[in-house]
């Protein structure tokens, strides 16, 4: 049985689905006004693995990851670019999908846009007003009354008193209480707006996810996920909205992946240590980036640096090298094998990918000793469950085809030099290739090479 660390209970719990054999997952997605960054990559990869693992366990998975396509940042960027909001958001949705595909992330079951669910949001807000959890301010904004929801703070562990004493909140004279948050923003000149019972306006950010999750997964679903930065106030506010409207628990399990840090500092644009996925992929193979993300437990901080990615590249190469020379057959995992059983135990224990990957290296070591084709098949099959080792080993280790042809030509010249006992020339070619990051290995079957 799989165990999940539940942020709501602050404990690791055995997963029990609401509906037998079915798992419903909602993950907060991207706000599409710019290229995705490495923090977004972590969310995409982590919950892709969660989704894949439930698949492996035989569940029918309904995985919803939303798109925020209307908010202040999007409006401001469209004005800066002199570009329509629709053009801007669609362009960055396409870029996001390209990044996700490169990282081996499967498409969600559903990927709804916020603007497609305005009516759902209006209906929820109207119910909140009727049940006296929300109110219409003098300026036409609609606010959620935080004090009206007695369990506010149960996810983050923050009490109303703590929030009043220490939290920075928006000062808005239209609010009844400084802790209240906006559900509906009254229209400003030249901004997109929709009709509502309270006048033209647009939704607040928090109500979007409450509306979309309930639309696709129902009022009560299994797992809600996202980055640790969303735990408060976004996810806290979602709970307050959804549970006030539906009179039931929103999600049974809340999963939050840890922050991405850059050289031990939190990644942020203000610190100038901000990396887009696209920038990282200019330097590193996408599978190296995925492997790097999965080497850390999803709840731990992930410390980004070129040195750590270089180390991940070398480690991933070791796994691919162990598969070299085998005709790998696509096959199901034999979970009765002791190492496969250990791999499953690791993944069932709160998706412990670092432990699972360590077992892949145990297998690789066994393959290097025994040259066993069945073990090579098992290594490939286990790795594929988390989206790794899906390439041909030679393709991964050698890379660009044109470069490969030039290297093969130099290896042939080196072979001819050795045959003619011109060892000085053979050594020169080896050194030349090594300077270019190409490592040669002389084997009984001939010389093979890989990128350093």
- Looking at domain 262-395, which of 1.20.120.640, 3.30.70.20, 2.40.50.140, 3.40.309.10 is its CATH number? 1.20.120.640
Per residue in 351-387, pLDDT tens?
999 999 999 999 999 998 999 999 999 999 999 999 9
Q: Please say if the pLDDT value at position 412 is more than 80.
A: no
Domain spans, the chain: 3-257, 262-395, 399-451
Q: Are 290 and 273 in contact (CB under 8 A)?
A: no
Non-local (6+) Cβ contacts of 316 within 8 A are: 287, 288, 291, 388, 396
Q: Are 216 and 95 in contact (CB under 8 A)?
A: no
At residue 73 the predicted structure's pLDDT band, cuts being 50, 70 and 90, is very high
Average pLDDT over residues 295-313: 94
Q: What percent of the chain has pLDDT over 90?
A: 75
What is the signed CA dihedral for 110, 113, 119, 125, rounded to 10 degrees?
100
Answer yes or no: is 283 a known binding residue: no
What is the signed CA dihedral for 290, 296, 301, 305, rounded to 10 degrees?
-60
Strand 201-203 relative to strand 446-451: parallel, antiparallel, unpaired? Answer: unpaired
Answer yes or no: is 248 a known binding residue: no
Answer yes or no: is 337 a known binding residue: no
Per residue in 120-163, pLDDT tens?
999 999 999 999 999 999 999 999 999 999 999 999 998 888 77
* 3-257 and 262-395: identical CATH topology: no
Non-local (6+) Cβ contacts of 288 within 8 A are: 309, 312, 313, 316
Answer yes or no: is 116 a known binding residue: no
Answer yes or no: is 209 a known binding residue: yes
The residue that leads in pLDDT, 421 or 4, is 4
| Cα within 13 Å of Cα(359), Cβ side | 24
pLDDT reported for residue 433: 80
Q: Please say if the pLDDT value at position 411 is more than 90.
A: no
Task: Show the tokens assigned to 138.
Answer: 């003098």
- Looking at domain 3-257, which of 3.30.70.1560, 3.40.50.620, 3.40.50.720, 3.40.228.10 is its CATH number? 3.40.50.620
Q: What percent of the chain has pLDDT over 70?
A: 94
First to last CA, the chain: 41
């Amino acid at each position: 049985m799989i165990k999940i660390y539940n942020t709501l209970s602050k404990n690791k719990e055995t997963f029990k689905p609401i509906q037998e054999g079915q798992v419903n997952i909602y993950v907060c997605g991207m706000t599409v006004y710019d290229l995705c960054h490495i923090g977004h990559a972590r969310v995409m990869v982590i919950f892709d693995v969660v989704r894949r693992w439930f698949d492996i366990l035989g569940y029918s998975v309904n995985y919803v990851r939303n798109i925020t396509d209307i908010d202040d940042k999007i409006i401001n960027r469209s004005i800066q670019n002199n570009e329509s909001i629709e053009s801007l958001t669609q362009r960055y949705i396409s870029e996001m999908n390209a990044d996700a595909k490169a990282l081996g992330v499967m498409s969600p079951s559903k990927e709804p846009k916020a603007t497609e669910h305005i009516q759902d949001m209006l209906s929820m807000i109207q119910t909140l007003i009727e049940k006296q959890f929300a109110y219409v301010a003098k300026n036409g904004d609609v606010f959620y009354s935080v004090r009206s929801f007695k369990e506010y703070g149960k996810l983050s562990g923050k009490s109303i008193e703590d929030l009043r004493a220490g939290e920075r909140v928006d000062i808005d004279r239209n609010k009844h209480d400084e802790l209240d948050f906006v559900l509906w923003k009254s229209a400003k000149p030249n901004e997109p707006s929709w009709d509502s019972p309270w006048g033209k306006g647009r939704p607040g950010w928090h109500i979007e996810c409450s509306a979309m999750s309930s639309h696709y997964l129902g009022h009560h679903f299994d797992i809600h996920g996202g980055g640790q930065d969303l735990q408060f106030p976004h996810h806290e506010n979602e709970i307050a909205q959804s549970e006030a409207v539906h009179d039931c628990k929103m999600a049974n399990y809340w999963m939050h992946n840890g922050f991405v840090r850059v050289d031990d500092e939190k990644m942020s644009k203000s610190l100038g240590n901000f990396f887009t996925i696209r920038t990282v992929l200019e330097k590193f193979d996408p599978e190296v980036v995925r492997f790097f993300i999965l080497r850390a437990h999803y709840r731990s901080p992930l410390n980004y640096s070129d040195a750590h990615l270089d180390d991940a590249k070398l480690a991933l190469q070791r796994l691919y090298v162990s598969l070299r020379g085998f005709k790998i057959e696509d096959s199901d995992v034999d979970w009765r094998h002791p190492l496969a059983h250990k791999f499953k135990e690791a993944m069932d224990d709160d998706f412990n990918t670092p432990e699972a990957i360590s077992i892949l290296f145990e297998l690789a070591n066994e393959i290097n000793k025994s040259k066993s084709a069945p073990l090579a098949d098992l290594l490939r099959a286990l790795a594929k469950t988390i989206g790794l080792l899906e390439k041909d080993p030679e393709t991964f280790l050698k890379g660009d085809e044109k470069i490969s042809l030039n290297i093969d030509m130099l290896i042939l010249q080196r072979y001819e030099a050795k045959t003619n006992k011109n060892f000085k020339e053979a050594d020169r070619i080896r050194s030349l290739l090594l300077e270019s990051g190409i490592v040669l290995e002389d084997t009984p079957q001939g010389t093979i090479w890989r990128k350093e």
